[in-house]
Amino acid sequence: MPTAQGDRWYRIQSLGLAVALLVLVTLAGTAGYMVIEGWSAWDAFYMSVITITTVGYKEVHEMSRAGQVLTVVLLTAGVGAALYTFTLLATLVVEGGLPSRLQQRRLQHMLETIKDHFIICGYGRIGSTVAQQFQRQHVPYVVIERDPERLHAAIEDGSLAVEADASREEVLKRVGIDRARGFIAAVGTDAENVYAVLTARVMRPDLFIIGRAETEDATLKLKRAGADRVISPYQIGAVTIAQMALRPAVVDFVALATGTDNLDLAMEQITVAAASKLANQTILEANLRQRFGVIVVGIQRHDRRMEFNPEPDTRILAGDKLVVLGRPGSLKKLEVEATG
């Protein structure tokens, strides 16, 4: 059974023979016009080319009956040779992978220029849902997936994706981990997630890393490997079901505030920069409620300690993350103020 490489080599040989035949027919026509009509080499060559390509220009000079016969023969042989050559060339270009190489170059360019993005390891049920949320909020991200079918699904969904092992350093370098905003390990097994998190943490000690765990043991290992947050989908799902059964109104409110499709209300975290006017002011002095129409739900300090429902005299420090509730437009204005 012939291999793909052997078939490609056969097509290259066929193309070479076709080109040689086309050149031979052109030279024969040129020589024929020179001998029969007595034309110059250029006029004879020009007449041969426009005859073979059937462009429809008029004759270079008036031709004798013998010259007309030569033209008919040249048309019959030359057009067939030209069509055969161009057909083989087009087949070799398409099947030779030129479109694929162009796509790879485009992918490489996007990977080299993307920044402030998230790296999603795995495009299963968790990874694909995360990617959809990022797409809705226009957050840049890259997917790393080993399974070809899932990789194809990610590309079909509009994701920037590469087929590779997320635990390899060269792969993480390729997807721009040095410019990334965060890292999400959501591959199929806990062991793979631990290796991916460990590799990412070694390469970027300051990177925000989220790991997915299926067991309590995996949760501990992911934290030891360097994950800032560990999420157990089964545990979160069970807690949500319990809360829905006991406090449905509270769950509905949280879903309303954190839903990406809601245009009237949103909950956001906003980091206060050192150059911001909000730094070192109290909540009362900052007058956030009156100026921006937002409610400060909590403040996460630099040491990750969370202060819920802070008092009006609570001071806002540089580096704090304000957890605020308000309209999307108001939150954007507050974010501009917080960045200084």
What total of structural domains would you count in the chain?
3
Residue 273 within a domain: yes
Does residue 14 register a pLDDT over 60?
A: yes
Question: What pLDDT score was predicted for residue 9?
Answer: 61
Does residue 77 register a pLDDT over 90?
A: no
Residue 273: give the domain boundaries: 263-339
Residue 256 within a domain: no
Asked whether residue 228 falls in the same domain as residue 284, the answer is: no
Asked whether residue 87 falls in the same domain as residue 119, the answer is: no
Mean of pLDDT values over 67-87: 79
240-261: per-residue pLDDT in tens?
Answer: 888 888 888 877 777 766 666 6
Does residue 101 register a pLDDT over 90?
A: no
Asked whether residue 90 falls in the same domain as residue 132, the answer is: no
115-143: per-residue pLDDT in tens?
Answer: 999 999 999 999 999 999 899 888 999 99
> Minimum mean pLDDT among 142-151, 235-244, 271-280: which range?
235-244
Q: What percent of the chain has pLDDT over 70?
A: 89
Confidence of residue 10 (pLDDT cuts 50, 70, 90): low
Asked whether residue 118 falls in the same domain as residue 194, the answer is: yes
Question: What pLDDT score was predicted for residue 323?
Answer: 92
Question: Which residues 6+ apart lie within 8 Å of 9 measured at CB?
Answer: none
Does residue 1 register a pLDDT over 50?
A: no
> Minimum mean pLDDT among 97-101, 266-270, 274-278, 301-305: which range?
97-101
Mean of pLDDT values over 297-312: 88
Asked whether residue 122 falls in the same domain as residue 215, the answer is: yes
Q: Provide the CATH number for the domain around residue 24.
A: 1.10.287.70
Confidence of residue 3 (pLDDT cuts 50, 70, 90): very low
Which of 95, 129, 164 is a domain's end point? 95
Question: What pLDDT score was predicted for residue 38?
Answer: 87
Residue 109 within a domain: no
41-60: per-residue pLDDT in tens?
Answer: 888 888 888 888 777 677 77
User: Burial level of 315, CB count in 10 A (0-12/13-18/19+)?
Assistant: middle
Question: What pLDDT score was predicted for residue 243?
Answer: 83
Residue 205 within a domain: yes
Cα–Cα distance measured from residue 129 to residue 200, given in angstroms and rounded to the nearest whole number:
22
User: Burial level of 237, CB count in 10 A (0-12/13-18/19+)?
Assistant: exposed
Residue 276 within a domain: yes
Give the pairing of strands 208-212 and 182-185.
parallel
Helices marked H in the chain: 4-36, 41-52, 65-95, 98-113, 125-136, 148-156, 169-174, 190-203, 216-225, 233-246, 248-258, 283-286, 288-292, 328-339
Asked whether residue 127 falls in the same domain as residue 232, the answer is: yes
Question: What pLDDT score was predicted for residue 12?
Answer: 66
Residue 106 within a domain: no
Mean of pLDDT values over 78-89: 76
Mean pLDDT of the chain: 85
Asked whether residue 139 falls in the same domain as residue 206, the answer is: yes
Tell me 159's DSSP state: -
Question: What pLDDT score was predicted for residue 116?
Answer: 93
207-220: per-residue pLDDT in tens?
Answer: 999 999 988 889 99
Asked whether residue 150 falls in the same domain as residue 216, the answer is: yes
231 three-state secondary structure: strand
Q: Provide the CATH number for the domain around residue 319.
A: 3.30.70.1450
Which of 222, 237, 252 is a domain's end point? 237
Does residue 181 register a pLDDT over 80?
A: yes
Which of 95, 124, 158 is a domain's end point? 95
Asked whether residue 224 falls in the same domain as residue 121, the answer is: yes
Residue 126 within a domain: yes
Question: What pLDDT score was predicted for residue 174?
Answer: 92
Asked whether residue 123 falls in the same domain as residue 91, the answer is: no
Asked whether residue 144 falls in the same domain as residue 87, the answer is: no
Asked whether residue 329 falls in the same domain as residue 283, the answer is: yes
Residue 137 within a domain: yes
